[in-house]
Amino acid sequence: MYTQGLDQKQKKSAADPADTPGRLAAFQARIDADEKIEPKDWMPSGYRKTLIRQMSQHAHSEIVGMLPEGNWITRAPTLRRKAILLAKVQDEAGHGLYIYGATETLGVSRDNLVADLLSGKAKYSSIFNYPTISWADIGTIGWLVDGAAIMNQIPLCRCSYGPYARAMVRVCKEESFHQRQGYEIMLELCRGTDEQKRMAQGALDRWWWPSLMMFGPSDKTSEHSAQSMAWKIKRISNDELRQKFVDVTVPQAEYLGLKMPDEDLVFDQKTGHYRFGEIDWEEFWEVLKGNGKCNRERLEARNSAHDKGRWVREAASAYAEKQAARDAA
């Protein structure tokens, strides 16, 4: 899940008169019985809104995420790596399409969702506002970013909204490929020359903290988790997921022979978990607000693609209309 802005962004909106106490209670009973909610079922307007926002953010993130990785396709160091990266980026486009499709079942159109992305109104994961400046960044993104995404998305496979849950099952399978391939890039670099090791360490230094931020604000400040939890849209809290991620990732870094950029990182024998340092939440909020290294470039790239493609889309619909007219004649 790439939705770190979600929990705090939601404003209290006026209650929908259709959300009668009876309906709400019946809905909650279905959720509590672990029933899946399907597109045609009645749902509270807040549930629908929350899902639309979360799912569209997720889809946007898949799409914007193609940019930092696409940045290295033409420079991949071997043909095999080039093929793997191309396939990965293609998968991400597929995830985006698939999740947009699932979001449309909630009564919104992909065109409108994309328009919100392009105007800057909708959010996408801040992780993609960081630059990919070396080949090791591609390894690190697979290892950490896809790794964090899996951690987030596995519970979503049990999300109460059927189309989203099913989308996540499929997406998770591919993300775990990406994670392994990313780790494999890192392994190769860490077994390589001093320069390659330096490249790998540099990438870890830059991506570690942002990938911890992917899990969203701390539970202490995250106001909206409670409702999402009750609706079983969210099933595990931000901090719990983050801890799980740290616990599995630290030994992987050790195996690579890399040093985590965190002086406070220590294994706590009593709890069996790693304790880690304070996340720079100021950086998190700044990047979310638009003040990251690549925020402007990412949005400009998507807008430029959209604008330059307008004549193509217009041609396609003009042709389709002509064809329909010919068929009717």
Partner 1 sequence: MTKEQALITYATRMGDNAIVMAQRLSEWVGHGPELEEEMAMANFALDYVGQARMFFSYAGELDGNGRNEDEICFLRDGWDYGNVLLLEQPNGDFGETIARLVLFETFYSLQLEALASSPARKLAEIAACAIRESTYHIRHASHWLIRLGDGTDESHRRVQHAIDRLWTYTGELFEADQVDRIMQAEWEGPDLTALREQWHRQIDALLSKATLQKPADGWMDSGGKQGHHSEHLGYILAEMQSLQRTYPGANW
Judged by beta carbon distances under 5 to 8 A according to partner kind, the member of partner 1, Fe ion, none in contact with residue 18 is: none
Give strand ranges (E) for 29-99. Answer: none
User: How many residues bind partner 1, per CB under 8 A?
Assistant: 47
Work out whether 60 is an interface residue with Fe ion (CB under 5 A). no
Judged by beta carbon distances under 5 to 8 A according to partner kind, the member of Fe ion, partner 1, none in contact with residue 251 is: none
Residue from the set 185, 200, 212, 250 that interacts with partner 1 by CB under 8 A: 185
| Candidates 21-29, 73-81, 178-186, 306-314; binding stretch for Fe ion (CB under 5 A) | 178-186
Window 232 to 271, contacts with partner 1 (CB under 8 A): none
- Nearest approach, Cβ of 96 to Fe ion (angstroms)? 8
Give strand ranges (E) for the chain. Answer: 266-268, 273-275
At which residue do the structure tokens 């998190």 appear? 284
Judged by beta carbon distances under 5 to 8 A according to partner kind, the member of partner 1, Fe ion, none in contact with residue 95 is: Fe ion
- Nearest approach, Cβ of 288 to partner 1 (angstroms)? 22
Q: Which two tokens stand for residue 211?
A: 């990938």
- Say what the alpha-carbon torsion angle 23, 26, 30, 36 is, to the nearest 10 degrees: -20
Residue from the set 86, 118, 236, 279 that interacts with partner 1 by CB under 8 A: 86
Work out whether 316 is an interface residue with partner 1 (CB under 8 A). yes
Taking phi first (over 0 means left), then psi (-120 to 50 degrees means alpha), and beta for anything else, what does residue 159 get?
Answer: beta
C-alpha to C-alpha distance for 162 and 36, rounded to whole angstroms: 5
Work out whether 150 is an interface residue with partner 1 (CB under 8 A). no
Task: Decide if 255 contacts 184 (C-beta within 8 A).
Answer: no
End-to-end CA distance of the chain: 49
Work out whether 202 is an interface residue with partner 1 (CB under 8 A). no
